[in-house]
Amino acid sequence: MPGRSLTIDSLPVRWKTFEVKQICKASAVLSTLFFAVAGWSSIDLGSGISSVTSGRMVPGLNVGYTSSNWALSINSIGVSSSYYYQSSYSMNYFWTWQSDQLFWGRTTSGFGFGALYSQRGFQDEGSTTQEVKSDYGLGPSFRVRWFFAQPIYMNMEMLWGLRGTANLALNGQDFIMFSVGVQAW
């Protein structure tokens, strides 16, 4: 009709639902085609400890996507008390390969690059202000994963982040995450 525009709000309810379903199906098909290059893939979920908290046993979370020859992982770890908090995050991309057997389980290794961000705050007991500092870094990352009871694994990821180029010997910060996890599929 001349002078009348067609909008989503002007469509009948059944068309809106049909359109949403079609968009979801199309997204699923496109995602499948995009990830079909890999021979196999999995979603990884693990929990463990990290070097970021200077040896304190603080729980961390490791979530990732693994294909036959590459992996993406995101790590998060944090601690909080009435005087202190620290939150640290890293994201790594790895090119992976099958290494060998370790005892009875297979191992995979990886090399890539990653980024880290860490923020911490401290407040003295008598003070009303909080001192806040943050760190960031970019650099090479490494990964070793041992499947001791398939699909359960032990994982160690290390990121060595450069925080600047003024003095390379003093500008490095490591983010090592040791975790035990499971491949969801």
Domain assignments of the chain as residue spans, ordered by start: 8-37, 39-183
pLDDT at site 8: 47
Ranges of the chain whose pLDDT falls below 70: 1-42, 53-55, 163-172, 185
pLDDT at site 7: 47
H-run or E-run covering 30:
helix 13-35
Q: pTM of the predicted model, to two decimals?
A: 0.69
- Per-residue model confidence as pLDDT tens digits over 38-53: 445 667 777 777 777 6
C-alpha distances in Å from residue 153, one per residue of 60, 85, 97, 105? 16, 30, 16, 9
Q: Which CATH architecture has domain 39-183?
A: Beta Barrel (2.40)
> Peptide bond before 151: cis, by omega within 30 degrees of 0?
yes
pLDDT at site 159: 87
Kindly provide the b/e burial profile for residues 60-70, where b requires at least 16 CB atoms within 10 angstroms of the residue's own CB. Answer: bbbebebeeeb
Judged by phi (left if over 0) then psi (alpha if -120 to 50, else beta), residue 126 lies in alpha
